[in-house]
Amino acid sequence: MKPMWGLLFFSLLFSGHKSFSAACCGGGFAVPGLVSGDDRAQLSMEYGFTEVVVDSVNRHGIWSKGEDHQQIRSFSLSGAHLLSDRWQAGFSAPLIQREYQGNQRSGLGDVSTSIGYEYLTDWDYHPWRPKGVGFLQLTLPTGKSRAESEVGGLDSRGNGFYSLGLGTLLTKVFGDFDVFSSFSARRSFEKSVSTSLGASNLQPGWGGQLSGGFGYNAKSFRYGSSLTWSYEDEIRSTGLAPNSPLERFATFVVSGSYLYSSAWAGTLSYSDQTLFGSPVSTSLGRGLLVQIQRRWSR
């Protein structure tokens, strides 16, 4: 029961949600939906609510807070399915709504698809060697980037660029405890946009995430914590649209999960972006996320 519960948590954690991305953006690059346990397929639904508590952190790291705070609601659907014993494919599709001072914008965020390969197996339950899954992720610009926004980022719902990412997830269960680490990097590609300022070419760069966390399993419950550092290169403009400076922030998460049955599980998570790291050129939020996951065994 304990090893399965630990592996289930990794499936819950890496189901591709973007609700804990930077509060200034509709969604950033996230680890895609991955089957990290002993299942054939999984499907996750998530609802998230975030309140922006630090309206702006400038490029020098100075924080600014206003009296009115923007609120972000998101709903996402993600899933993954094995193609063979070691290959798998996944997807993630978020809907995002942002509200500020009575004004509201909503729409589809960045949709992503992924291919994963289990390059380190744990079929023999090795005492210390982790399970490793590598992935390649393609993100589609179905959301608008903050560089395109003309309403202060209220209609920003993602990075807004085609991007190709590569990453890995390492997991290990030690009795009642589990640990994980994950690293991902991506390259976003140039695109042309037209705003009231005129036509511009937006030139993004590299971005990435580094995560680590642990958990404790008690019967049908699991309690855990994680910390994710996120980075985004400067977005340069060759037209009249202003450049967007490089962005950096860290997200701390505590979570509790409950295993209804071998097929169903739920998780409640709290996130805070004000506690760790040295954020620059971003806004920071605190939020809650509810997730329900359905799994199909092999």
DSSP 114-162: EEEEEEE--TT--SSPPEEEEEEEEEE--S--GGG-SSTTTT--S--S-
Task: State pTM to two decimals.
Answer: 0.88
Inform me whether the pLDDT recorded for 24 exceeds 70: no
Whether residue 208 contacts residue 228, with contact meaning beta carbons closer than 8 Å, is answered with no
Residue listed under structure tokens 């063979």: 84
Inform me whether the pLDDT recorded for 190 exceeds 80: yes
Q: Domain 2-297: state its class.
A: mainly beta
Query: How far out from the chain centre does Cα 221 lie?
Result: 23
Inform me whether the pLDDT recorded for 141 exceeds 70: yes
Q: Residue 3: helix, strand or coil by DSSP?
A: helix
Domain edges within the chain: 2-297
Inform me whether the pLDDT recorded for 15 exceeds 50: no
Q: What integer pLDDT is reported at residue 262 of this predicted model?
A: 84
Q: What integer pLDDT is reported at residue 17 of this predicted model?
A: 41
Residue listed under structure tokens 């996130």: 271
d(CA 229, CA 151): 27
Mean pLDDT along residues 189-204: 82
Confidence of residue 146 (pLDDT cuts 50, 70, 90): confident
d(CA 32, CA 80): 9
Residue listed under structure tokens 């590609």: 189
